[in-house]
A = this chain, B = another copy of it.
Amino acid sequence: MYPEQERFLLATDCIIFGFDGSTIKLLLIQRGMEPMKNHWSLMGGFVKRTETTDDAANRILQQLTGLQNVYLEQLHVFGKPDRDPVERTLSVAYFALIDINKYAKQITTDHNAEWFGLNELPELIFDHTEMVKMAKKQLRYKAALHPILFQLLPEKFTIPQLQVLYQGIYQSKLDDRNFSRKVLSTNLLIKLPEKEKLSSKKGAFYYKLNQSNYLENFEAFLNFIPNPDRFFKD
């Protein structure tokens, strides 16, 4: 035993991103416990004795969304001694990407959860605003290099839908023609016979992920975004 050492509470908080077809959203809850009860907050919870922090994040995510096997990435440890006014608690922040159509609405209403646009976020408790800021940055960073944004889309999606998503993330217009060509040249997508006909007369073909190429090339660098540098100057 290490008797002279301090022990701490340990939590995880999840920054949950979703995409509704036009904008990127964040899932927040109204905190159910004191302190700061009823204030907006990230979904979080304490790590239990037998869990890893990854386990805890997955458990919390399932509690709120009903989803399992979600894209989840450890972001950062937030550990300022006074970040929780009640008792020192360190929090491991995770960011999650989910298909907004799949989450279980019933569960979220039970938790007083709500989707917020990234530019319409309410004030958040503790250091959660800082966590969100870091997660947004990391999302941009990672998405510029690796094909993670597919995690935000349904199984079947069209290239124009994907483009809207990239444009939302980077807040800039991309050339439609070059975009579709670049995306298709990666061989990450499989063309489906059906078309999506609601948003245009011609209709756009649906695609699905080529799972094996996706997994194999996950770490390969992409280049969907021209001059990605400019988005990371802060």
Contacts and interface: CB of A to CB of B under 8 A. Distances in A.
Interface string A118-144: 000000000000000000000000000
Contacts of A9: 2, 5-8
Interface of A is mostly: loop
Nearest to A222: B229
Contacts of A90: 10, 53
Interface in A61-103: 74, 76-77, 79-81, 86-90, 92
Contacts of A50: 81
A48 interface: yes
A79 B220 contact: no
A46 interface: yes
Given A7-B9, A221-B228, A2 B87 contact: yes
Interface of A: 1-2, 5-10, 46-54, 74, 76-77, 79-81, 86-90, 92, 145, 216, 219-221, 228-229, 232-234
Contacts of A89: 2
A74 B79 CA distance: 12
29 contacts: A2-B89, A6-B46, A6-B47, A7-B7, A7-B8, A7-B9, A8-B9, A8-B10, A10-B90, A47-B79, A49-B81, A50-B81, A52-B79, A53-B77, A53-B79, A53-B90, A54-B79, A77-B77, A77-B92, A79-B92, A145-B145, A219-B229, A219-B232, A219-B233, A219-B234, A220-B229, A220-B232, A220-B233, A221-B229
Contacts of A80: 52
Contacts of A54: 79
B2 A49 contact: no
A53 B88 CA distance: 13
